[in-house]
């Protein structure tokens, strides 16, 4: 059986390195390229402590991608770079698997057009942790019975975008599962933003602190009770089963799959 060739964009970063390690552990996958603006010219094998792995970190361009022609490009970069990387990958006949957050609905419409034009497939997931996917699904179910809900998301202090893609996706899924809108109420905000941001009439509160990785809790309120659904990623390895699942299956897909829950439903 032919191995799936994989290149990683953002390979020098913490998530990128973890993806490289995960790909190297899979017999059905082959790491063939590493891209990043940091660590240019370094051998990703030395960065990972893997002897015998000779892959030089390069800048992601159409020319550098066509040189190695991977089947899949995994992207964990920044909101400023990811859209260009997705477009470049599809132009080169490479299927993107994207964990970079900060992608807007307008971005998604452009990406959908590029994917359809290329005749390829792509997977974009705000969160690749399987537990986070279940958290969002459970929250969607709870929304039928608890119209009042707020989201608190907590991430490391290096995360650029806020709210997180997971929080926005969760709010979207909760709104789709609601049987009724929450009651309107008057509020006196003594400081702007004290109640967080609003998405689909749901308050989202973002926390950025050193020592955190990725955490989210969804708190529902009802008469005399609350329901809290929480997920914690304490290590970046928690995202790898979802990433590997997407990499292995994206060659079989058609079009854009947005959200790992949709990929799991497709598989089942």
Give the model confidence (pLDDT) of 208-266 as tens digits.
999 999 999 999 999 999 999 999 999 999 999 999 999 999 999 999 999 998 888 65
What pLDDT sits at residue 267?
A: 56
What pLDDT sits at residue 12?
A: 96
Q: Is 159 a catalytic residue?
A: yes
**172: Cα within 13 Å, side-chain hemisphere:** 12
Q: State the chain's maximal CA–CA distance in angstroms.
A: 64
Q: Is 155 a catalytic residue?
A: yes
What pLDDT sits at residue 214?
A: 94
CATH code reported for the domain at 130-233: 3.30.360.10
Contacts of 63 (CB under 8 A, 6+ apart): none
Give the model confidence (pLDDT) of 18-33 as tens digits.
999 999 999 999 999 9
Pick the catalytic residue: 110, 137, 156, 159? Answer: 159
Exposure string over 30-61, b if 16+ CB within 10 A, otherwise e: ebbbbbbeebeebebbebbebeebebebbebe
In this prediction, the residues of the chain whose per-residue pLDDT falls under 70 are 265-268
What pLDDT sits at residue 183?
A: 76
Architecture of domain 4-124+236-267: 3-Layer(aba) Sandwich (3.40)
Contacts of 28 (CB under 8 A, 6+ apart): 1, 3, 4, 248
Judged on CB neighbours under 10 Å (0-12, 13-18, 19+), 64 is middle
What are the DSSP E strand ranges found in 48-186?
57-58, 72-75, 95-98, 121-124, 148-155
Backbone torsion region of residue 254, taken as left when φ is above 0, otherwise alpha when ψ lies between -120 and 50, otherwise beta: beta
User: Measuring CA to CA, which residue among 234, 254, 256, 249 is closest to residue 112?
Assistant: 256
Pick the catalytic residue: 58, 155, 205, 215? Answer: 155
Q: Are 31 and 121 in contact (CB under 8 A)?
A: no
Residue that the structure tokens 């660590």 belong to: 39
Parse the chain into domains and list their residue ranges. Answer: 4-124+236-267, 130-233
What pLDDT sits at residue 189?
A: 86
What pLDDT sits at residue 266?
A: 59
Q: Are 132 and 167 in contact (CB under 8 A)?
A: no
């Amino acid at each position: 059986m032919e191995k799936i060739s994989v290149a990683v964009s953002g390979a020098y970063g913490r998530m990128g390195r973890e993806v490289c390690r995960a790909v190297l552990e899979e017999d059905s996958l082959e790491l063939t390229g590493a891209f990043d603006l940091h660590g240019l010219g370094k051998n990703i094998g030395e960065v990972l402590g893997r002897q015998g792995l000779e892959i030089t970190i390069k800048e992601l361009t159409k020319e550098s991608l066509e040189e190695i022609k991977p089947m899949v490009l995994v992207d964990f970069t920044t909101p400023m770079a990811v859209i260009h990387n997705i477009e470049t990958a599809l132009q080169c006949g490479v299927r993107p698997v994207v964990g970079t957050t900060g992608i807007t609905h307008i971005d998604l419409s452009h990406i959908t057009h590029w994917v359809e034009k290329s005749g390829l497939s792509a997977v974009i997931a705000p969160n690749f942790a399987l537990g986070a996917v279940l958290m969002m699904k459970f929250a969607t179910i709870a929304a039928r019975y608890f119209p009042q809900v707020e989201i608190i998301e907590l991430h490391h202090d290096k995360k650029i975008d806020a709210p997180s893609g997971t929080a926005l996706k969760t709010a979207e899924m909760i709104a789709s599962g609601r049987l009724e809108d929450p009651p309107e109420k008057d509020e006196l905000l003594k400081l702007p933003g004290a109640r967080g941001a609003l998405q689909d009439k749901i308050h989202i509160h973002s926390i950025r602190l050193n020592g955190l990785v990725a955490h989210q809790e969804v708190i529902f309120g009802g008469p005399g009770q609350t329901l809290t659904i929480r997920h914690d990623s304490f290590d970046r390895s928690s995202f790898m089963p979802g990433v590997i699942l997407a990499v292995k299956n994206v060659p079989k897909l058609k079009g854009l799959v947005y959200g790992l829950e949709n990929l799991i439903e497709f598989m089942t």
